[in-house]
A and B are shown apart, each in its own frame.
Chain A
Amino acid sequence: MLLRLLRRTAVFLASLFVSSIAVFTFMAVLPGDPARVTLGVNASDSAVQQLRDEFGLDRPLVSQYASWVHGLVTFRLGDSYVSNAAIGPQIADRFQVTLWLVVTGMVIAVLIAVPVGTVMAIRHRRLSGVLLSGLSQVGVAVPAFLAGILLITVFAVRLRWLPANGWTPPVVDPGMFLKQLVLPAFSLGIVQGAVLTRYVRSAVLDVLREDYLRTARAKGLRPGQALVRHGLRNAAIPVVTMLALQLATLLIGAVVVERVFVIPGLGSLLLDSVANRDLIMIQDVVMVLVVAVLLVNFLVDLLYIAIDPRLRAGAS
């Protein structure tokens, strides 16, 4: 078990290292001259040189990389080339907003997917199962931002139940916060839920075929009881994997949904930075997103060790 933990940790750290190199190479090395990219082709040479001096862009790449990573680890990310505002606090601020969106979206997705997927699996031979399956297929085909636009059309424009966009922090006005959260969170949740539903269905179908489920029934458990007591824990393993893998999609889906609902999250920050050609900000935001995804996947690996005694014992 200890060995497994160590190995997972090593893989996690290695992933962080490799992805940081990739992001750094992409954003700081490949553009050739970040200062020129930032200021644009029309900027004077002296202005470009000034920016270079200011941000140490003439230093060797290795030392630039080292100070970037140091900044990431200590979360002292320095200032933006463009706005000269401190990057760290901005990212932290925006990340909170995105986190609300992603977590609520994921909860909605799970609340939809687990019951619906299970029913689809149990009834997969019946009409109801086939119809649900078709419905989830349609859900999968709708991107989150489209769902957002459609939800706005129905619930904000037609019915006027909820605001079409905007964001209020929960500490400022909890009621408004919730009202504004509903539509974007559902845009993410419905779509992600449709995707997840199909994984729940196939995981439950797999578990229903397992010998130990037959043993459970042979003891006298009803099909539903057997599934709940013996199946769901085992079906959870592939579903949780999927959930973790989907986190990247969900985070990136949030970027677009934030644009639809005009929400000041990490996604809006990223898109604004692209518009402003703020390379260092982009580099940091991208890295934060990647670290978040890798971290969650790492935590899920640890979770398996808790769920599955075979892993806990270190047997492979």
Chain B
Amino acid sequence: MTVHSVELADTAVGPARRARGWNASLVVGGLIVGLLIVMALLSFVWTPHDPTLVNAAARLQQPSAEYWFGTDKFGRDVFSQIMVGSQTALFVGIVAVGVAALVGVPLGIVGGMGSRWVGETLMRFNDLLLAFPALLLAIMFAAVYGGSTLVAMVAIGIASIPNFARLVRSGTLQVMRTEYVLAARAAGRHPFGIGLRHVLPNVSGLVIVQMSVGFAIAVLAEAALSFLGFGTPPPTPTWGRMLQASQELLWEAPRLAVFPGVAIAVAVLGFNMLGDGLRDYLDPKLEDRR
């Protein structure tokens, strides 16, 4: 894995790469993520129906011009719920990825720049944290404090720290071997300055890619948490809880599972593809190695 700046990596590969043309992952992933953001923002000001409005007269409607995705057993509009559900997914993602990056990136840089001992200790700590996946942490939190959006965000964020720390550390180790860092060290620059001036800019590409992938992980984990009832409490609709509610109606209305299911899968797919696309864009030499 290389950590060149974008221009460096580009010239190293040259015309062959550019001739290959457009980066499908980047475009499709970017489009999906863009749509998701638009949908979430739009849902603050407009949804076709009130997503929480119970309407006994309109129970379990088939999709129609009035209810695009139909209604659930309380007569609530599924499409509106999906729209509002994207708010939670994105919000949890933003905070969780933010927490993970804010802790993981400095840890990774320190682990890569510090002594061998520091680095090894950090990696062992990372391995340990990997034994506590987001869901397990969230269950522990929820057992003590009850389920909430905050619990979901913090649990997912903490569980994602190792992903960032590991990646940034390996990137840092490579940057530390480059000539300009060796020169800066020889010139007696303070490690903090080197970290800020040389390492951080060079690993930022990796971090951006991981953020996109981390978003995908967060959306998955959030869905699982709300499916189990440890995430955002009712009445705010979430995709996971919609799925959970659909379970008792699989015989009558399987579409109630399909719509939130597709929403989750498409959102995750979008962030994963965006991550892949960004990786190719930032470092074309890796194109074959995803």
> Among residues 237 to 290 in chain B, which have CB atoms less than 8 Å away from a CB atom of chain A?
243, 246-247, 250-251, 254, 257-258, 261, 264-269, 272-273, 276, 288-290
With A and B bound together, what is the CA distance between A146 and B263 in angstroms?
11
Are the CB atoms of A245 and B289 closer together than 8 Å? no
Which residues of chain A are within 8 angstroms of B250 by Cβ–Cβ distance? 149, 152-153, 157, 164
Which of B36-44, B102-110, B191-199, B223-231 is the contact stretch?
B223-231
Chain A positions within 8 Å of B272 at CB level: 137, 140-141
Closest 10 CB pairs of A and B: A141-B268, A141-B269, A293-B131, A141-B265, A252-B135, A153-B254, A252-B133, A274-B143, A146-B261, A31-B144
Q: Is the interface of A mostly helix, strand, loop or mixed?
A: helix
Tell me if A137 and B139 are in contact (CB < 8 A): no
Q: Is B128 in contact with chain A by the CB < 8 A criterion?
A: yes
| Cβ-defined contact, B136 with A289, below 8 A | yes
Measured CA separation A89–B230 after assembly (Å): 27
Give the interface centre of B143, B264, B288 by most chain A CB atoms within 10 Å.
B143
Q: Which of B136, B139, B243, B290 contacts A146 (CB 8 A)?
A: B243
How many pairs, one residue from A and one from B, have CB atoms within 8 Å of each other in the complex?
129
- CB-based contact B135/A255 at 8 Å: yes
How far apart are A133's CB and chain B's nearest CB, in angstroms? 8
Complex formed: what's the CA distance from A206 to B132 in Å? 30
Bound complex: CA of A201 vs CA of B289, how far in Å? 8
Interface hub of A141, A245, A249 (most chain B Cβ within 10 A): A141
Number of interface residues of A (CB under 8 A): 54
Distance in angstroms between the alpha carbons of A164 and B142 in the assembled complex: 29
Is B220 part of the contact surface with A, judged by Cβ < 8 Å? yes
Asked if B182 is at the interface (CB within 8 A of a chain A CB), the reply is no
Is A270 located at the chain interface by the 8 A CB criterion? yes
Residue B8, interface by CB 8 Å: no
Binds B, one of A11-19, A97-105, A180-188: A11-19
For B290, list chain A residues within 8 Å (CB). Answer: 133, 198, 201-202
Q: Which of B152-172 contact A (CB under 8 A)?
A: none
Q: Are A273 and B143 within 8 A (Cβ)?
A: yes
Contact of B143 among A140, A205, A282 (CB under 8 A): A282
B177 contacts A by Cβ under 8 Å: no
User: When the two chains form the complex, which single residue of A124, A133, A157 contacts B254, counting CB atoms closer than 8 Å?
Assistant: A157
Interface residues of B in 202-242 (CB under 8 A from A): 216, 220, 223-224, 227-228, 230
| Mask of A180-220 contacts with B, CB within 8 angstroms, 1/0 | 00000000000000000010011001100000000000000
Say whether A26 contacts B144, CB under 8 Å: yes
The residue among A142, A279, A297 with the most chain B CB atoms within 10 A of its own CB is: A142
| CB atoms of B269 and A18 under 8 A apart | no
Chain A to chain B contacts (Cβ below 8 Å), 15 pairs: A27-B143, A31-B144, A124-B288, A137-B269, A138-B269, A141-B264, A141-B265, A142-B268, A145-B224, A146-B265, A150-B261, A157-B251, A274-B139, A274-B142, A294-B131
A143: contacting residue among B130, B142, B264, CB under 8 A: B264
CB closest chain-B residue, reference A256? B224
Measured CA separation A277–B289 after assembly (Å): 46
B190 at the interface (CB under 8 A from A): no
B23-62 vs A: 1/0 string, CB under 8 Å?
0000000000000000000000000000000000000000
Whole-angstrom distance between the alpha carbons of A149 and B276 in the complex?
Answer: 28
Contact flag A141-B289 (CB < 8 Å), given A153-B254, A259-B228 = no
Contact B131 A282 (CB under 8 A): no
Residues of B within 8 A of A232 (CB): none
Find A138's partner among B136, B265, B289 (CB 8 Å cutoff).
B265
**Chain B residues, Cβ within 8 Å of A279:** 143-144
A256–B140 alpha-carbon span in the complex (Å)? 15
* Minimum distance in angstroms from B288 CB to a CB of chain A: 6
A241 → chain B closest CB, angstroms: 11
Additional pairs, 9, CB under 8 Å, beyond known A140-B269, A282-B143 = A141-B265, A201-B290, A248-B133, A248-B136, A256-B135, A260-B247, A271-B228, A273-B143, A277-B143
Q: B131 to A248, Cβ gap below 8 A?
A: yes
Chain B residue with Cβ nearest A290: B131
A142-B265, A149-B257, A256-B135 are contacts. A15–B144 as well, Cβ < 8 Å?
A: no
| B165 → A minimal CB distance (Å) | 14
B66: CB under 8 A from chain A?
no
Contact A282 B140 (CB under 8 A): yes
